[in-house]
Amino acid sequence: MLDQEKTFEPLIVAFCCNWCSYAGADLAGTSRLSYPPNVKIIKVPCSCRVDPIFMLRAFGKGADGVIVCGCHPGDCHYSTGNYFTRRRFALLFSLLDFMGIEKERMRLEWVSAAESAKFARVMNEFTEEVTKLGPNRRLMDIRNLPEGYEELGRGPHREVLDAQAPHARNIPSVVKIEEQMKARATKLLADGVVDRVLAWKAGDHETMPEPAFFDHPSQIENMVYNKYCAHNLSKYLMVAPWLGGKLFDGSTLIFLKPCDSYSFNQLIKENLINLEKTHIIGIGCGGTVQVEDLEEVGMWEKCGVCTKIHHPVGDEIIELENNSPRLDKNARFATVEAIEALSADDRFAFWQSQLSKCIRCNACRNTCPVCNCKRCVFSNNKYDMASKVNATEFEEQLFHIVRAFHVAGRCSDCGECSRVCPQDIPLHLLNRKIIKDINEFYGEYQAGQDIAAPEPLTSFDLNNDGQAGKN
């Protein structure tokens, strides 16, 4: 049994780059400069090697503070590694702060091989700061707590903010578009331009259309397009590896609503779509509705704040006759701003209350068009992060932070993650927070808009990327 009254000694994990910071630590040692024994150093080839998962799992395993050290900007052994680190951690720290996790527990520092004194000073400062904060309880797998320790600092689940206010907007009829779509699909199939069509098939109930492939003009009569066709079809043209099956060899006609076309364009950018075998028809959309018990509930949040009218990609476009006026393009950030305005405790309570509903069904991952890894890091039976396990709240946090972060800069805000969540967790808010940060830190960026535009997380600005902390 450990005595909780004992002075708190934090556990600090330091990821140090092999070329600068680790050498700096080494020099600190040989120069007899003292820094706290609480710091456990993990050597990495480059600070850019540090995946956010490393940091999160360090916290999960009981670290009270995590610090990433790399070469000074401009000094990277691999020329540019630390520029990527800088952007990545600026976003991650901001996201964790958004979730109410103490920002002070994580740090990014530049330490060169000669800066032994700086290394010792930084470690002393950081250890002192984390000691003041006390033990990490907000991002921690409670199963790793030593016996006798209590689960502190989490507090009961409580309501903080309603994140899913319904939207009222008139939905224009798309009957005309449906007819045009059917005509084009029949024509293209009959002419042999395409071998199959990807669209929506009428379900057994009006509100239940499902994504479907049509191989023959005679099947087209079953095709529908209406306000219930919320599904993003982009991913079906990529053979999702976990679905198995064979790659289709013929060419496909795909219908894309404006928001779908952004994610589809992103897939094109990532070389996951064979454009030679794809015929794209962009279709107008007036918004889609949420259905419960086969009855309309209201417009999906994502449609309520949607500003995407145009298609960034498409061989043909079938437009809506009168595109309804759209909201201000920053309206979608209103809820994110409302959460940002809360205190850290309330932000934590909000996300704890939401994420604790998660049942790890992985619908958000499997439906996300840019969650397209050949093998998901969570499809893993070896580590304590298998996709189906939901033993502690930490696993929910870890999964959702990583899920949101792995699509950072690639998420086009199609909102599918929140649409499919059986527990109605507003997952899109995590992604929107990242999008908002990217816009603020690195300039306006819309994933999927322009495949030639540099991506925010794989590009950098030599002088202007200082948001990650103190340089």
DSSP-assigned letters across all residues of 88-134: HHHHHHHHHHHTT--GGGEEEEE--TT-HHHHHHHHHHHHHHHHHH-
Which CB sits closer to other proteins, 150 or 293?
293
* Rounded least distance, CB 231 to other proteins, Å: 6
d(CA 368, CA 240): 11
Instruction: Identify which of residues 217 and 469 has a Cβ nearer to other proteins in the complex.
Output: 217
For residue 439, the minimal CB distance to other proteins (Å) is 27
Question: Between 171 and 386, whose beta carbon lies closer to other proteins?
Answer: 386
Rounded to whole angstroms, the Cα distance separating 283 from 299 reads: 19
The nearest distance, CB 267 to other proteins, in angstroms, is 15
Q: Which residues bind other proteins (CB under 8 A)?
A: 143-144, 146, 157, 159, 162-164, 203-205, 208-213, 231, 235-236, 240, 242-245, 291-295, 353-354, 357, 359-363, 365-367, 379, 381, 384, 386-391, 416, 419-420, 422-425
Query: Is 312 or 426 the residue whose CB approaches other proteins more closely?
Result: 426
Name the minimum Å distance from CB 377 to other proteins: 13
Which residue number, 152 or 361, has a Cβ lying nearer to other proteins? 361
| Residue number, 137 or 310, with CB nearest to other proteins | 137
Q: Are the CB atoms for 177 and 225 separated by under 8 Å?
A: yes
Let me know: does 396 contact 356? Beta carbons within 8 Å.
yes
Buried-exposed string 287-312: b where 16+ CB fall within 10 A, e elsewhere: bbbbbeeeeeebbbbbbbbbbbeebb
Is residue 252 within a helix (H) or strand (E), and if so which, with residue range?
A: strand 252-256
d(C-alpha 146, C-alpha 134), whole Å: 16
Q: How far is the CB of 454 from other proteins (least distance, A)?
A: 31
Q: State the nearest-atom distance from the C-beta of 300 to other proteins, in Å.
A: 13
**Distance of closest approach, residue 197 Cβ to other proteins, in angstroms:** 13
Q: How far is the CB of 346 from other proteins (least distance, A)?
A: 14
- Smallest distance from other proteins to CB 83, Å: 36
Which pair of tokens denotes residue 340? 């940002």
β-strands 12-17, 65-70: how paired? parallel
Which CB, 132 or 357, lies closer to other proteins? 357
- Residues sharing a CB contact under 8 Å with residue 285, sequence separation 6 or more, in sequence order: 174, 257, 258, 259, 303, 320
* Min dist. Cβ of residue 354 to other proteins (A): 5
3-state helix, strand, coil in the chain (%, to 5): 35, 15, 50
Start-to-end CA span in the chain (Å):
42
Q: How far is the CB of 160 from other proteins (least distance, A)?
A: 9
Pick 124 or 353: Cβ nearer other proteins: 353
Nearer to other proteins, 92 or 199 (CB): 199
CB-nearer residue toward other proteins: 132 or 143: 143
Find residue 85's DSSP bridge partners: none
Q: How far is CA 204 from the centre of its chain?
A: 34
| Residue 100 tokens, joined | 């109410």
With vertex at residue 418, the alpha carbon angle to CA 414 and CA 422, rounded to the nearest 5 degrees, is 145
Is the Cβ of residue 70 or residue 415 nearer to other proteins in the bound state? 415
Q: What is the largest CA-CA distance in the chain?
A: 82
Query: Distance between CA 40 and CA 32 in Å, rounded?
Result: 17
